Structure 1
Amino acid sequence: MSKVPFNVDAYTAKLIGRENVSKLDGAILELVKNTYDADASICFLYYENETDTLYIGDNGTGMTEEIILKHWMTIGSSSKKIQYKTRKGRIQTGAKGIGRFALDRIADKCELLTVSEEEHLIWDVDWSRFEFGQRITDITADLDPSTKGFDEFLSDVINPNVNKIVDDNFQRTGSIFKLTSLRDKWDKSVVDSIKSNLRTLIPPEFKEVFNVYFFETTTTIEEAAVLQDSDDFAYDYKVHFVAESSGKVTVNIYRDEFDFSDKFDEIMTGAGFENFERDYFQGKPIEKVLSFNEIIGSKENIENTIGDFEGTLYYAKLNATKADREKYYYKDITGRPDIRSIFGGIRIYRDGFRVRPYGDPKSSSSDWLMLAARKNKSPAAISHDTGSWRVNADQMHGSIYISRTNIHLPDQANRQGIVETKEFGLLRLFIEKTIRLFERDRQYVCRLLNRYYDELHPTEDIEKEIKKKLQESQKNEETAKKSNQPPKQSPVIDVKKVSELVDKKDSTIRDLENEIQMLRVLATTGIVTNTYVHEIKDVTHKLNLNIVMAKEAIEYDKDMQSALDYITKASVAREAFTSWFKVTIESVRRDKRRMRKTSVSDLVSKLIESWKESLSPKNIEIIDTMDDVEFKCFPYELESILNNLIANSVASFEKKVSDDKKIFISIISQEDGILIRYSDNGIGLSESYKKNPRRILEPLETDKVTNAGDVIGTGMGMWIINRIVSEYYGAIDLSKNMSSSEGFYIDLVLKNKD
């Protein structure tokens, strides 16, 4: 009987790789992980749009011929299975031996220059050969010695900064892939998605030993750095914990939310804080050393079977009412950046790399700890004496660090999460209980400050007194009615106290209304700015470049004419900035936040002129017709309406093939107000909104998505418009969109408030 060996169709091997690396983002991340495993301190990616080529390089140890043959070219084989620590002591992230198929997912053709201490090698493969009908052993790659250095390998790249980062950091060893015949269209949305994923791939703390750069043709080295410093995270509370396999847990809680300024001693004493707490408001952490079981809070003795792990959690609010700022002495958080779309959620890192999808704001696992459901069960306010305050899910972000040595937390086979073992449930419970420690501390502080505020501002006591007397009066009337007797004299309510209470309530309402109005205009500014963020970066680069070139022309070449030419170009870039500022920042000027009679035609004409400067490079034309009419309004609210509509049109035109891009704006005088008639000849509303276009007026409704299906619109612009129109007793007509095959149409009626 003859022995017949098994073989594998080449396409089957390809399917194995595709099953494990199915998405472009995932393929990129796998290759970046490999660079870390190679003991690299620098990894760079460079996408060259002009040649549709992607380079991925690292200054790691490189590969020898033996490693390439035994491991790189052998499917399922990995040198990391047994020897999982690198020379630098890093715990390697991969061991399945299929990461190289990430190359196949990205491109058909791949050329690799790898330089180790022993050899210079060129490896070349055409993945399109892995098709039906061929056996895996029949497929070959080219592997040859090479005399090429990194400079020669990159001699054709357009961006000189790529060569510079290689010259400065690739001293002796490393590897660079050159990928051509890319499988995906690398448009702006794809590039932005990859950058976003790279930002959270590695925790900020790793910047000291490993950094990642993403270059495009005109990107500088500073712009290419994708990792963010942990110091850049603004927070109100920080919680750092270390859990040891022995059962010992150390938790440090940092308060950074409160600012007592020159009233520090007065507030500490008046609110009733203990003397030892003074340091906790001045940077010293509250340290708690507990057992694992004490954190869990179980009657049974639950041991730490997870192993060693640690984490850092941040609580950060994005806004606070004026009343709360006064009551709780919050620090000023004006201008605090909203990082939720990138760093939102609590992420898990294994040996320094993200374990997806935990904490990913674009996935259902963003709130994998179910903090939102927990909040719904206990919605108590922070100052409530009887309730237990719970944090909102979108106010928490942070990092949990586990390792390959946490053997009871294995990765799923498809690398899309952790197998939900008993230990994974225990990890989730531990983090929730650790968050509870912070919640108790914050509620403790806010309760004391709330009581102190009530002592200084007794309006709540007045309100309680008035309510009590009104209830007594109502009770007297009901008793008298039942007994057919005249009612007893009702308790006397002090008019002065009522007046104080009404004044206080009116002041609070006015403050809240002003805050809401300001938040609307700031939201609109953010929406408009986000529409042009790519162009703004491009203008910034051109401005910086021309200033540097002018300086060098003067200092080194003594060429005043060239310097003047560069300064002229810089001036053009500056003018582009001015046009952005006119559209955005100008709208928050104080005089525009005062209700007054406004010449609508003048206001809108100036706004359109500002937009025309910005839209001219995009070949977008605004055509306007306006009646000469005065209308009593907040000027910035009319600007907010038009800014949101124009920003939506610009986004629509990006998907329009034709260069015919027009916006039509008409201002029509009416007996009791104005009619704003707006339309464009863009692609129009998506089919999902055609039957009921008024859905776009609801908050968070958007049809702005990338080619990958990721939602990129805020869904707030049209909602802001709807709120403004309703406050002018107006109406919105979107009915024409139901029958139109293209273009967007809206009529807005605003009536005089007087």
Structure 2
Amino acid sequence: MEELKYIIEDSTIAELLGVQNFTNDESAVLELVKNAYDARATLLTLHFEGSQLIITDNGVGMDSNDVKIHWMHVGKSSKEYQVVDENNKTRVLAGSKGVGRFALSRLGRNIQISSKKKGATGVIWITDWNGSILSEDKDLHESGTKIIINNLREKWSKKRIENLAEFLSKTYNDNLMKIEIFHPDVDIVVKKYFPAPKLGKNCLSNIQLNFNSDKCILTTEVQSDEFLNEAIKYCPEINLHEFSIETDIIDEFKSLKEFDLTLEELQAHLSNLGNFSAEMYFNINSTTVEMEKFLYKYSSVPENLKGGIILYRNAFSISAYEGKKDWLGLGKRSRKSPAAASHPTGSWRVRENQLAGKVEIDKKKNAVLQDLSNRQGLDENIYYQLFVEIILTGLKEFERYRQSIVRLIDVKNNVNPEDKPTPISDKVVSNPTTVSQLSPKEAKQLAAEIKTYRKESNDFKREKANVEQRYKYDVRILNVLATTGLKASSIAHEMRNDRNSIADNSNNIISALQEYDMWDELSSPDKTEKSYKNIPYLIKSNSEVSAKIVAFMDTMLSEVEKKQFESTWQSIGDLLNKIKQVWERDYAWVSIKLQIEDDIVFKMSEDIVRVIFDNLILNSIQQNESKDHLNVNIIAREQNNFIHFLYSDDGKGLDKKYNSNPRRILEVHETTRKNGHGLGMWIVNNTTVMSGGEIIQITGQNGFSIEFSLGGNM
């Protein structure tokens, strides 16, 4: 027997584990920062100059043996749980998979590493990702590692450097290693993103959660400075500044349908989850009217913290949980329960933009919270689900605490109409000359009434805005319904001659053959030997095709599912690929080509993209039904926080009447088709504008083309 081992080309490893394994360049830089941290460095510098990046640390460095045995051994990590650095400080090591070094490939094409380990000769390792060379360098005298990355794959502008510094400030949660970034246009020292909470300065309330997995107890503590001292008289039994509660998670979760666990299993899972903590900062902006109504102390804080909720594993955040992603589902919670804090019965939920903070877990204590194989997130297993639900349980405690205060304060705003004095304003309106005859008390009452009317006017405006927002949601639903109807109408049009007989044909054929005494003979073994002559088989296949048509209709109906309207972080590539697959499945003569920038992820709801492109593709198909083949091309790129699209087809283009003003096709009921409805392009424009984007350009010669942007209000 001969033992075999895989042989993989260096360039293939670099492509798979480097270029394709990291969602962006910043994540790749973070991996190298982690390596320096694990090497016990106290100083790390990043020098950007032209197409070169030099990364230098004063860590323990490597010798020739380290390079051969560890650095060149893919998938093996020599790192333990923790180490002690030269300052006698303990560090929990960030690396474990043995693939982080390939972040170099994501950043550049040519790499040179110079490294020196104490008591050993320095080494130089050079690669172009097709091969690697190792040599000794006796001129290296100080411990540490210097990485020179030449031929950077991307240009690093001042703005990108500032974004990198902000990214590192959010993802690096320690002060044992100083990080400095140098660039021809800017020099930055990276600092921790979250400062110590200061009530009234960077937050209104500070929420601290601590979960004890041995006792299955969650402790929630709140420090608050949101309300004026005057509020004490409306809620004397509630401490306006401090709140603490212990929640038994076993009791809290045992009746939840989301977890299909016995009581013993639930306790075991919670115990295995391990201890963890969280600190969150609550902020809300208030109008003058709201401040007076609910006795708020601040309209806003001067240093409002943003950035979402970041999940840290020891010194570093976990990829994809750096604050951009609403991984706790706060937006979904608030949409399900949109009640105001003053609502007498509804449950108020903190909004996504009202909360920032961090959750801290440990590599060893919380080992059941596992990285995905590509290290771009966590495996959302049962432990992860319990973990999230525990955090949300702590937030519910805060929400209940705050809502109880607001409700009690709001009682003062609900004055009994019988207790109100007769309006002086009624008297003045009926006879304006009486203004000069008002007593000082009446004049004061008139001023108070006018002030009240202004408040009510502002309240009405806010309520009107809320109603308009709800109507916008309704319009989006109607857009989807209309688009689905248009697609169904198009397919029904093609099938109008056969539609009535499709469902019954199979049964009718079988009945006829049985009536003519032919069915038994056709079902005999000698008549069914060959599939293409097997009549029962062919009839059955035809019946299955009919069933697929019904299934297709079910698929179209599924496009109005509620989840499409929930705003989440969406992959534009994934959305467009789904649309492409459906249309190419239903129209074999249509080919859709996608050209999308890597990793365009945008916070939006799925229905916006689907409504727009379903209508564009349907419009192309209906305008070019006489063609044997139609090519559609979709280009997408991200620019200035907007997504820019260029949609085009190689069909006949626009009718000549639109040559002077192609934007006419966006008007409602504008069409050149005899049986057309003129709604498709109007829906495209309406949805685009509603998203905060715009139609940039339309051309209709040599095919049809439209350029537009989405963003802003999604």
| TM-score (normalised: structure 2) | 0.56
Partner of 1:664: none
Is structure 2 residue 409 aligned with structure 1 residue 449?
Answer: yes
Q: Is 1:503 aligned to residue 450 of structure 2? A: yes
How far apart, in 1, do the equivalents of 2:328 and 2:279 lie? 15
Q: Deviation at 1:250?
A: 5.1
| 2:341 equivalent in structure 1 | 382
Could you tell me which amino acid in structure 1 is paired with residue 210 of structure 2? V
Q: Give the C-alpha shift of residue 147 in structure 1.
A: 2.2
Contact 2:63–2:123 (CA<8 Å) still a contact in 1? no
- Count of matched residue pairs: 457
Code of the residue aligned with 2:276 in structure 1: it is F
1:370 and 2:323 matched: no
Pair 1:67 & 2:24 matched: no
- Between the aligned partners of 1:429 and 1:323, the Cα distance in structure 2 is 35
Q: What does residue 491 of structure 2 align with? A: none
The residue type paired with residue 109 of structure 1 is N
Contact 1:327 / 1:450 at 8 angstroms: preserved in 2?
yes
Answer whether contact 2:76 2:98 (CA < 8 A) is retained: yes
What is residue 116 of structure 1 aligned with on the other side? 117
Give me the identity figure in percent. Answer: 24
Cα deviation for residue 496 of structure 1 reads 12
How far residue 389 of structure 1 moved from its aligned partner, in angstroms, is: 1.1
Post-superposition shift, 1:505?
4.4
For 2:378, the equivalent position in structure 1 comes to 418
Distance 1:376 1:464 in 2: 40
**Which of 271, 274, 291 is the aligned partner of 1:325?**
291
Match of 1:701 among 692, 704, 707: 692
Q: Secondary structure at the match of 2:12?
A: helix
- Determine which of 172, 175, 195 is the counterpart of 1:230: 195
**Alpha-carbon separation, structure 2, partners of 1:5 and 1:125:** 25
Instruction: Give the C-alpha shift of residue 334 in structure 1.
Output: 4.1
Could you give the per-residue CA deviations for residues 630-674 of structure 1, whole angstroms, max 9, x where no partner exists? xxxxxxxxxxxxxxxxxxxx989xx9xxxxxxxxxxxxxxxxxxx
- Matching of residues 446-485 of structure 1 within 5 Å: 446-454=406-414, 458=415
- Matching residue of 2:12: 12
Gaps of 5+ in 1: 131-138, 150-171, 467-494, 517-649, 656-689, 704-733, 745-754
Pairwise mapping of residues 261-410 of structure 1 onto structure 2 (< 5 A)? 264=229, 267-268=231-232, 270-274=233-237, 277=238, 280-281=240-241, 285-294=242-251, 296=253, 298=255, 300=263, 302-303=266-267, 304=270, 305-317=272-284, 319-334=285-300, 336-337=302-303, 339-340=305-306, 343-344=307-308, 346-358=309-321, 360-361=323-324, 366-405=325-364, 406-410=366-370
- 1:671-682 equivalent positions in 2, closer than 5 A: none
What is the CA–CA distance in structure 2 between the aligned matches of 1:259 and 1:69, rounded to whole Å? 63
- 1:176 corresponds to which of 134, 142, 146: 146
Cα distance in 1 for partners of 2:211, 2:121 equals 45
> Could you say if the C-alpha distance between residues 232 and 288 of structure 1 is closer, same or farther in structure 2, counting changes exceeding 3 Å?
closer
Q: Are 1:147 and 2:139 an aligned pair?
A: yes
Q: Distance in 2 between matches of 1:461 and 1:735?
A: 58
Quote the Cα distance in structure 2 between the aligned partners of 1:411 and 1:193. Answer: 25
C-alpha deviation, 1:271, in angstroms: 0.9
Contact 2:22 2:376 in 1 (8 A): no
Q: CA deviation at 1:98?
A: 1.2
Q: Does the aligned pair in 2 maintain the 1:57–1:176 contact within 8 Å?
A: yes
| CA displacement at 1:6 relative to structure 2 | 4.6
Contact preservation (8 Å) 2:23, 2:376: no
1:437 is aligned to 397
Q: Is the 8 A contact 1:347 1:398 kept in 2?
A: yes
SS of the aligned residue for 1:141 comes to strand
The one-letter amino acid of 2:204's match is D
CA contact (8 A) 1:236 1:314 kept: yes
- The residue type paired with residue 298 of structure 2 is D
Change (3 A) 1:224 1:215: farther
Distance 1:418 1:4, change over 3 A: closer
For residues 736 and 62 of structure 1, the distance between their equivalents in structure 2, rounded to whole angstroms, comes to 56
Q: What letter corresponds to residue 374 of structure 1 in structure 2?
A: R
2: distance between equivalents of 1:249 and 1:60?
Answer: 40
The alpha carbon displacement at 1:383 in A equals 1.3
Q: 1:286 to 1:210 in 2, by over 3 A?
A: farther
Q: Are the equivalent residues in 1 in contact too, given 2:235–2:405 (CA < 8 A)? A: no
SS at match of 1:46: strand
Following superposition, the deviation at residue 23 of structure 1 comes to 3.3
Q: Confirm or deny: 8 A CA contact 1:37 1:86 kept in the other structure.
A: no
CA contact 1:356–1:416 (8 Å) conserved in 2: yes
State the alpha-carbon separation in 1 of the partners of residues 253 and 118 from structure 2: 50
CA distance in 1, matches of 2:295, 2:63: 62
The CA deviation string for residues 676-697 of structure 1, in whole angstroms up to 9 with x for no partner, is xxxxxxxxxxxxxx99997699
**Whole-angstrom distance in 1 between the partners of 2:320 and 2:281:** 19
Distance in 2 between residues matched to 1:43 and 1:510, nearest whole Å? 58
Q: 1:249 to 1:182 in 2, by over 3 A?
A: same
> 1:47-86, aligned counterparts within 5 Å?
47-49=48-50, 52-80=51-79, 82=80, 85-86=83-84
Q: 1:77 to 1:67 in 2, by over 3 A?
A: same
Are the aligned partners of 1:213 and 1:226 in contact in 2 as well (CA < 8 Å)?
A: no
Paired amino acid for 2:147 = F
Structure 2's unaligned 5+ residue stretches are 257-262, 424-441, 464-638, 645-680, 709-714
Q: 1:239 to 1:295 in 2, by over 3 A?
A: farther
In the other structure, the counterpart of 2:224 is: 256
Structure 2 matches for 1:123-162, cutoff 5 A?
A: 123-128=124-129, 130=130, 139-148=131-140
Over 3 Å counting, the alpha-carbon distance change for 1:504 and 1:92 in structure 2 is: same
Task: Give, in angstroms, the shift of residue 186 of structure 1.
Answer: 2.1
Secondary structure of 1:175's counterpart equals strand
From the superposition, tell whether residues 97 and 271 of structure 1 become closer, same or farther in structure 2 (CA, over 3 Å). Answer: same
For 1:398 and 1:349, locate their aligned partners in 2 and report how far apart those are by CA, in whole Å.
11
* Secondary structure of the corresponding residue to residue 353 of structure 2: helix
**Whole-Å separation in 1 of the counterparts to 2:26 and 2:421:** 58
Q: Secondary structure at the match of 1:231?
A: coil
Indicate how the Cα distance of structure 1 residues 188 and 55 shifts in structure 2: closer, same or farther if over 3 A, else same: same
- In structure 2, how many angstroms separate the alpha carbons of the residues matched to 1:414 and 1:743? 35
Amino acid at match of 1:508: K
Offset at residue 382 of structure 1 (A): 0.7
Q: Which amino acid aligns with 1:114?
A: S
Cα 1:216/1:459, change in 2 over 3 Å:
farther
Q: 2: CA distance between counterparts of 1:386 and 1:510?
A: 25
Match of 2:473 in 1: none
Counterpart code for 1:73: M
Equivalent in the alignment of 2:25: 24
Tell me the distance in 1 between the aligned counterparts of 2:17 and 2:707.
44
How far did residue 425 of structure 1 move? 0.8
Equivalent pair of 1:107/1:182 in contact (CA under 8 Å): yes
Tell me the residue number matched to 1:678.
none
**What secondary structure is seen at the aligned counterpart in 1 of 2:149?**
strand
Cα distance in 2 for residues equivalent to 1:513 and 1:697: 28
Within 2, Cα distance between the matches of 1:311 and 1:76? 32
Query: Which string of whole-angstrom CA distances, capped at 9 and with x for unpartnered residues, describes residues 508-535 of structure 1?
Result: 156679999xxxxxxxxxxxxxxxxxxx
TM-score by length of 1: 0.53
Report what 1:547 is aligned to.
Answer: none
Residue 92 of structure 2 aligns to a residue in which SS? coil
Q: Counterparts of 2:78 and 2:3 in 1: how far apart (Å)?
A: 30
The SS at the match of 2:273 is coil
Counterpart AA for 1:371: L
Q: Distance in 2 between matches of 1:32 and 1:290?
A: 38
| 1:42 lines up with 2:43 in the alignment | yes
